[in-house]
Structure 1
Amino acid sequence: MRTERLVVANARGKYLALLLCALAFVAIGALIVLRQPGLGGFLIGGASIAFFGAGAVLFAFQLLDRRPRLILDDDGLNDRTLGVGIIPWRDIADARLLTVRGHAFVCLELRNPEHWTDKLSPRQRRLAALNQRMGYAMLNVNLAGAAVDPQAVLQRILTYSAMYEPGRG
C-alpha cells in the first residue's frame, strides 16, 4: 500500500512578517537609546534591541531555511523539529489536534513511547513530561509556522497509521 507523500515547509510569509516586525522594534529600541539620555533609556532601548534582535535572527533563519519541516510518506512521519527521526506509521496508535492561542499541535499517541523519548536529550525529556502534565502527548507535531492545514495533517496521520496498524492485512 502506497501513501501520498506530503512535504511541509515553513510558512515563509509568516516569518517574513515576523522578521519585519522584529526589525521595527530593534529600530525603535535604537531610537530610544539615542534620544533618551540616561540609564532608563539605555536599559529600555537596550532590552528592546536585545530581545527583538534575537527574534529577528531566529525569524531570518526560519525564513531562509528551505529544509522540509515535516514529511509524511510510506516510511512514516518525520518531524525535523522533534529530533527523533522517522516514526513509522505502525508505531502511531492515535493522534488528536490541540490548538493553543491559534497554534496547532498534533498530539501523537505512540505504541511504545519510551522508545522515542529515549532518543531525546534529558532537557527534551523533561519538556515532554511537562507536555503530558499539561494535557498534550509526550511527542507533539508543532504546526505553528508551518505552511499547512493542521486538520489535513491530522487526517493524513490518522489514515496512514490505521493503514499500517500492526496485525492489519
Structure 2
Amino acid sequence: MNQPIIVTSKKSRYGVVSILSLFMTLISGLCIFAYSSELHSPILSLLFILAGVVGVAFFGWSFVFYTKRIFAKELPPILIVDDMGITDKSSAISIGFIPWEDISYIHLQPHLNQTYISVTLTDNDKYLAKMNAFQKYSSKANLKMGFPLVNIVLTTSNQTPQQVYYAILHQYGDKFI
C-alpha cells in the first residue's frame, strides 16, 4: 500500500488568481460594450460581443470559485492520489474522483507558460455525462484543442506540477502504464 499524495493550496495564491479573474471579467465586459456600436462592422461587433459574453461567463465563474475558496475556513486538498485513483479538485472544471481503471495515460502538458498534469481517460463520455453545463462546455473546448479531458492545475499549490507528476509516476506508475 502506497502513501497517498496530498496536494494542498495556499489562500494567498487564490487571492492572486481571484484578482486576475476579476480583471479578465471586466475586460470581457468591456468587449461587449466597446464593440457594440454602429461605428464598427456588424461581423466584428458580433465577434467581440460573443467573445465578451464567453469571457464574462468563464472568468466570472472563476472569480466566484476562487473567491469562495479565499473565505473558506479550511481549504480541502486540491489533489489526492492514492491506491484507489485520483481525486482532482484543482479548478472549477475538475471532475473529482477518477479510479485507476478509467485512466489510460498521465503526462505533463505545457501550455502558455503553465504546465498541467494531463490525464487521458479510457471513456471521456462517462465523465462528460457527470458534468454541469459549464464544465462540459469548458472540457469540450479543451478536447477540441487537442488536450485530454482532465488537466490538473496546480497554480494555487506550493508544489510544482513536475514534483507531483514524478511522485505519481514513482508511487503509482504501475496503475496506468
Q: Deviations over 1:133-163 (max 9, x none)?
A: 2231112112222222201222234455542
Of 111, 129, 132 in structure 2, the residue corresponding to residue 118 of structure 1 is 129
Which structure 2 residue ranges, 5 or more long, are not aligned? 24-55
**TM-aligned CA deviation for residue 110 of structure 1:** 0.8
RMSD (Å) for aligned C-alpha atoms: 3.3
| Percent identity (aligned) | 23
* SS across alignment from 1:164: helix
Structure 2 partner of 1:46? none
Q: How does 1:14-25 map to 2 (within 5 A)?
A: 14-16=13-15
Corresponding position: 1:10 with 2:9: yes
Structure 2 partner of 1:72? 81
TM-score when scaled to structure 1? Answer: 0.63
In 1, are the aligned partners of 2:13 and 2:155 still within 8 Å (CA)? no
Of 127, 133, 138 in structure 1, the residue corresponding to residue 138 of structure 2 is 127
Which has the greater radius of gyration?
1
Q: How does 1:82-161 map to 2 (within 5 A)?
A: 82-159=93-170
Aligned counterparts of 1:129 and 1:63: Cα–Cα separation in 2: 28
In 1, are the aligned partners of 2:83 and 2:172 still within 8 Å (CA)? no
54-63 or 156-165: bigger deviation: 54-63
In 2, are the aligned partners of 1:94 and 1:161 still within 8 Å (CA)? no
Q: How does 1:52-71 map to 2 (within 5 A)?
A: 60-65=67-72, 66-71=75-80
The number of equivalent residue pairs is: 137
In 2, are the aligned partners of 1:70 and 1:78 still within 8 Å (CA)? yes
Change (3 A) 1:17 1:134: closer
Change (3 A) 1:165 1:140: closer
TM-score when scaled to structure 2? Answer: 0.60
10-19 or 134-143: bigger deviation: 10-19
Q: Deviations over 1:86-107 (max 9, x none)?
A: 1112221112212334333111
54-63 or 106-115: bigger deviation: 54-63
